[in-house]
Chain A
Amino acid sequence: MDKNQHALFNYCLRLGDNSLILGQRITEWCSHAPILEEDIALANLALDLIGQAREFLTYAGEIEKKGRAEDDLAFLRDANEFRNALLVEQPNGDFAHTIVRQYLFSVFNYHLLTELGKGKDSTLAAIAVKSLKECTYHVRHSGEWILRMGDGTEESKRRLFNAFEDLWMYTAELFDTDESDDLLVKKGIAVDMKTIHPLWLETIKAHLDKISFPLPSNHYLVQGIKKGKHSEHLGHILAEMQFLPRAYPGTKW
């Protein structure tokens, strides 16, 4: 791979890994949701996200040209090779944490996919356009829960507040970039994070304003650990997710 292909490969991994790890996290809710309708809705989100991951990872494998398919990339990479953001690997916590994590990510992804859909790489643009429809629903679904919790009972307000406080520190990292991104931005392939960061913040502010809910006031923002560094959680997610292909190498399922 030359420098450009390498940059594109990594970029696709990041898009795919974000969706895959968040999707995997959401499936942990399966059969445990607060209400049956929400069990179904969460399964929907996870189906969309894992579907997107499959497309991004398949494309990553094609760019790499080493014959790695979606499953090789999903099940046979170790944690330090995963490119997902810290936010998506955070534990589900209570329902408020799950929804806040979803909302913060989905708004980010919404602006990202909107721009990516206009990009010069036709494969990425096509995946983005298709995914954007799903993502729009994710923003709406999680956004509605934010309103219900933020303007519901005292308990739900407190829980929502805590969830925003706990997760806000991981949001800046969503927008981190490095030299290889700059290369792709110049070529009109990747999205310039500097342009979508303010859009992301505006969307969230405007939404919370509807119920006069405060934005987290803090604080320390985790920065610059994009290059293969993760929280302790990812290793456990992968240990569970990758168990069968690792225990029975080369097996077709």
Chain B
Amino acid sequence: METLEKKSVAEDPILEEAFMTRLLNGEKIEPKEWMPENYRKQLTRMMSQHAHSEVIGMQPEANWITRAPSLLRKVILLAKIQDEGGHGLYLYGSTETLGTDRSELIEQLHEGKAKYSSVFNYPTLNWADIGAIGWLVDGAAIVNQTMLAKTSYGPYSRAMLRICKEEGFHNRQGYDLMIAMMRGTKEQQEMAQDAMNRWWWPALMMFGPHDKNSSNTIELMKYRIKLESNDDLRQQFIDRTIPQAEIIGLTIPDPNLKFNKETGHYETSDINWDEFFNVIRGKGPCNKQRMHNHIQAHEEGKWVREAAEAYASKHKQL
């Protein structure tokens, strides 16, 4: 009902102008307030994609939870995966404030209408991958989320502030794991470098296509949902991560990498965009597996959710 009502006034140019003025003044938009339908749509798309990413991202890490090589590492990894689940839950809640409920968002994911970060379509093949994910993937997420903490939509901004703190822990713990591997045996160093070789490029791809090829970026920036461009964010990540890799003896898998003294920035080869768009279109190494797992768990859990609902409604009547 509420969404219908909102829709009927969504295309009002006067309201839209007032809305844009509020954005320019740096005001936060709150759930019950008027917003253009396109703003709502873009936010729902982006926030649900973010929520799905947190949840699907649990899978590649869960792949090593039963094989963590020490009890302390097992506990750290488990707590991290649990945090990511919490982020997903929190973000689903924030997305619901825009009028789409979680079950519908999950349906969209299962139907392939909603996406998640394609970085999670790569496999975790050795223990160092757990370090690489924490350090590189969470590291890239932090750059993105620090920007999103200033986003124009109040609930999203608050979610990011809260989540960013935990991502900081994950990032440090991942780097700590990599340090331990690089200080270890030759085999451990090889595992760490192998993980670096496989996760570096997918991590850079997390920021999305070049600005000139990103149709969403323009609109997202107009609405101040995003405040910085894909390429700028990617550069920040590159500049902060390369020295961290070098200091522990990891090689960046990029023969053209160089530091430009004049700009103060690192320059890298271009991303393999064919691979990027392939993985987005479902042709990555683990797309099928990740979706299959999620759908299967959801279907196998159906009777449990139904039992909980039946019990709750029985005991409400009493």
The main secondary structure of chain A at its interface with chain B is: helix
A222 at the interface (CB under 8 A from B): no
B24 at the interface (CB under 8 A from A): no
**Contact status B62-A153, CB under 8 Å:** no
A218-253, CB under 8 A of B: which get 1 and which 0?
000000000000000000000011011100100111
The main secondary structure of chain B at its interface with chain A is: helix
**Contact status A243-B67, CB under 8 Å:** yes
A36 at the interface (CB under 8 A from B): yes
**Contact status A53-B71, CB under 8 Å:** yes
Nearest to B294 among chain A residues (CB) is A31
User: Assuming A33-B301, A40-B89, A44-B82, is B293 touching A241 (CB within 8 A)?
Assistant: no
User: Assuming A32-B297, A47-B75, is B85 touching A152 (CB within 8 A)?
Assistant: no
**Contact status B306-A156, CB under 8 Å:** yes
Bound complex: CA A148 to CA B66 (Å): 29
Bound complex: CA A51 to CA B188 (Å): 26
Complex contacts, A95 vs chain B, CB 8 Å: 301, 304
Q: Which of A130-157 contact B (CB under 8 A)?
A: 147-149, 151-153, 155-156
> On chain B, which size bracket covers the interface?
35 or more
B225: min CB distance to chain A, Å: 25
User: Assuming A71-B70, A245-B69, is B293 touching A31 (CB within 8 A)?
Assistant: yes
A74 at the interface (CB under 8 A from B): yes
B133 at the interface (CB under 8 A from A): no
Bound complex: CA A43 to CA B293 (Å): 18
Bound complex: CA A74 to CA B301 (Å): 32
**Contact status B71-A71, CB under 8 Å:** yes
A159 at the interface (CB under 8 A from B): yes
Bound complex: CA A70 to CA B184 (Å): 20
A35 at the interface (CB under 8 A from B): yes
Bound complex: CA A102 to CA B167 (Å): 31
Complex contacts, A114 vs chain B, CB 8 Å: none
**Contact status A50-B75, CB under 8 Å:** yes
B71-111, CB under 8 A of A: which get 1 and which 0?
11111001101100110110010000000000000000000
Nearest to A74 among chain B residues (CB) is B71
Complex contacts, B312 vs chain A, CB 8 Å: 148
User: Assuming A30-B62, A34-B301, A152-B308, is B180 touching A43 (CB within 8 A)?
Assistant: no
Binding site for A on B (CB under 8 A): 55, 58-59, 62, 65-75, 78-79, 81-82, 85-86, 88-89, 92, 127, 180-181, 183-185, 187-188, 293, 296-297, 300-308, 310-312, 314-315
Q: List the 7 closest pairs (A to B, CB-CB), nearest first.
A: A34-B301, A152-B307, A156-B307, A244-B69, A34-B304, A43-B82, A30-B62
Binding site for B on A (CB under 8 A): 20, 24, 27-28, 30-40, 43-44, 46-47, 50-51, 53-54, 57, 70-71, 74-75, 94-95, 147-149, 151-153, 155-156, 159, 240-241, 243-245, 248, 251-253
